[in-house]
Amino acid sequence: MRLAVVGTGYVGLVTGACFAEYGNEVICVDNDAGKIAKLNSGVIPIFEPNLKELVDRNRALGTLEYTTDTKAAIESCDLCFICVGTPQSETGETDMRYVKAVAKDIGSYLTHDILIVDKSTVPVGTAGLVREIVCAELAKRGLRIDFSVVSNPEFLKEGDAVKNCMRPDRIIVGVEDEGAGKVMHGLYKPFVRQSDNYIEMDVKSAEMTKYAANAMLATKISFINEIANICERLGADVNQVRIGIGSDSRIGYSFIYPGIGYGGSCFPKDVKSLICCAEAAGYTPGILGAVDRVNARQKTVLADKVIARFGDDLTGLTFAVWGLSFKPNTDDVRESPALAIIGALLARGAIVRAYDPQAMETARAHGFPDEGRLVYGENKYDALTGADALLLTTEWKEFLSPDFQKIKSALKNAVIFDGRNQFDSAAMAGLGFEYYQIGAGNTTGPER
């Protein structure tokens, strides 16, 4: 099939490359000429494992193109995927300006029957909005062209997105007519050859499924963090509690790892957007509001532990921070707890020496340049130079089995604040570290 993918952000890049891998002819469109120029020169603007290899292979085969020519892409495609950003507005609602702009372009340039596919994360009712805009633009041109609007939300996990896309847990497709369903099923047939995970439903239910899925996962994270905070005050160990409850098959272990909160471009935005959608419909969601509040509070927990240990005024103290991205295997720092922690330390006068395998450049672009009291290390051990303590904020693999003697020798104080509960507290005590983690009661190590 001939596909146009409008938007070359995270979703558009991965979606376009994966569809091309199965032999579709894909044109990815973006109005950012600089980004398109980089893509056409082989530069991928995000870090995502295996994506560059996929893009390079399909560009060489001629099945994947990048362009700024929206008109040509729409005129030549059988399906047009909307993959533009839907950022959060200041009031928490989803900013729909880019989706509306694409719908207007489709109506302005459409010349033949087409399927329009919403893959961006959008509020319930967006398919109807897209239809209205396209119809209005066609009316201005005096044309009547048949088209369907499909909801096909993405469920990509940053850091493992190519695998998720090629071997999906499920494919959710919301359609308004049988013909659209047949086309979408044919498109996805190579993706579901060995499993029955193609799920078709009505459009609004498909739009809601994406929000409900992300809200559920965010809820599990905030729940275990709430339990962690209670454990810490009662002298229990959340790491053991997690094992105890996770062994129940009704609960499971996924997304019940205590830490410093969730971040990224999806969970924070989608929870707030769903709250706004519910309130606009006349319902006040109690659980979702609590999930959001717990997460906001959780981002302060590690900095609070630093303050409790070193005092309110951190002037003259230096802290090494391992990790900037909101999760490993990505360079995405949007809503990253690590940046919130760094901001809190800097606000109290501290010097911060940070390192991340992939996200230092994106952190600079998001308002954390390496200047003044923020310095980026050349590697994880370089970041320890002159530091009074180490903070682990992202669980990159290279951080999980470090040379603890080297850490101890580099630090002024043998103090580790582990925001991801990655190390064993007994082992840390044996090595002579003061070790602080989330929800595990007292710290270990020598008396101060």
Which residues are designated catalytic? 266
Structure token pair of residue 364: 């600079």
Residue 318, number of CB atoms within 10 A of its CB: 21
Geometric angle at alpha carbon 299, from 297 and 303, rounded to 5°? 105
Nearest-Å Rg of the Cα atoms of the chain is 24
Tell how far CA 34 is from the center of its chain.
24
Distances (CA, A) of 221 to 35, 251, 294, 296: 34, 13, 9, 12
